Structure 1
Amino acid sequence: MADDPVVEEGWVDHAVAAEFPGLRLRWMDRPAPASRGRASPEGLRMQLRRLSGRFSGAKAVALRREPIPHAYRVFFRSIGLDPDTTRTPIEALALDRLFDGGFVSRGHLEDALAVALIETCVGLWAVDAGRLDGPLGIRLARDGERLGTGEHADELPGGRLVVADAGAPVAVLFGDVAARMRPSASTRTLRVFALQVTGVPEIYVEEALWLCAEALDGT
């Protein structure tokens, strides 16, 4: 079993903090599971199956009215995203569950992130910690910046909210992770991060990270 997770506080650019005072980023580093790229441990797959049984169609429909999903929907609107088009993480996963007839196992890391999301409604993302330049934080994209490197890297509109390290954007806020930052078979350490908004208690964010760590550490 790996050491207990240490939850760190990400930085938030002053201009972003002034406009969105409840926006925070929390992260932890964890060893990448040895089973990365292979099937999840049976215990984790069983946990997903149990959660599928508890997560009925009626619950999925009513989800948006629950406090934490509602808080994320309100924040989405405040940054110009329509949550009925660009789904919050838990609503997107709920729709997948309805279409697939259950929560589908997609690998150890993916399942660990999913379990934490289902249990807390707090979305998590993972990047390759070995490729990062310092701590993670939130800022506005600068004119001409791209999400990742190479000719296929998407150009970011100036002023777009992004998760970044000291050098460059790592992910769009509540969106895609740069291709070069995505965990791969060679990843040794994961950095798992959560985004907190006004109306989401800190304890739920920490619980999401701890649940993910527990699932990652399981064999």
Structure 2
Amino acid sequence: MEGFPEEGWVSEDVRADFPTLGLLHLTVELAGPRDSKLLKRRMGDLERYFNGTAITQLRTRPVVAAHRVFFRQVGLDPDVDLLPVEEALRGRLMQGRFESHGLLADALTITAIETEVPVMALDGRAVLGPLGVST
């Protein structure tokens, strides 16, 4: 990691509709092969934790339920446009395990599952200016 999470900006019109919405971002370096083994082991740990019962109860968890409400408020159907945590756990249920999609994708999957918050990665070399949320 390069430091601590920083707050991004939120436009006034978005903040008017969603006063508690925020954006945090963090600069990190992509890890090496040793960390790949740690990620695979962590995904294995999550596979053992998330059985069918835990997956079916996911939508009752406060963070997931709040994100599903937010999706509806911005015009998305959360039953069609799944949260990343729901997408990952659906794959776990259908395939019997978490499928590896490479170091970065696996790290994002683990983060989404553990925090229940949508996460994404950007190539910092392509980012121009500060990160923020607007309409």
> Which 4+ residue blocks in structure 1 deviate beyond 4 angstroms?
none
SS at match of 2:80: coil
Which of the numbers 95, 98, 102 marks the counterpart of 2:97? 102
Mapped partners of 1:40, 1:34: distance in 2: 6
Note the C-alpha offset of 1:81: 1.0
Mapped partners of 1:34, 1:41: distance in 2: 7
Mapping of residues 51-200 of structure 1, within 5 Å: 51-140=46-135
SS at match of 2:122: strand
Matched, 1:30 2:28: yes
Note the C-alpha offset of 1:34: 4.1
Aligned residues: 135
Q: Which runs of 5+ in 2 are unaligned?
A: none
Matched, 1:47 2:42: yes
| Larger strand share, 1 or 2 | 1
TM-score by length of 1: 0.58
TM-score by length of 2: 0.92
Matched, 1:8 2:6: yes
| Larger helix share, 1 or 2 | 2
Letter of the 1:64 counterpart: R
Mapped partners of 2:12, 2:129: distance in 1: 18
Note the C-alpha offset of 1:10: 0.5
Q: Which runs of 5+ in 1 are unaligned?
A: 141-219
Deviations 1:134-176 (A, max 9, x none): 1100111xxxxxxxxxxxxxxxxxxxxxxxxxxxxxxxxxxxx
Give % identity.
Answer: 38
* RMSD, aligned CA: 1.6
Mapped partners of 1:136, 1:70: distance in 2: 26
- Asked if structure 1 preserves the Cα contact closer than 8 Å seen for 2:112 and 2:118, the reply is yes
Deviations 1:115-135 (A, max 9, x none): 111112112100101111111
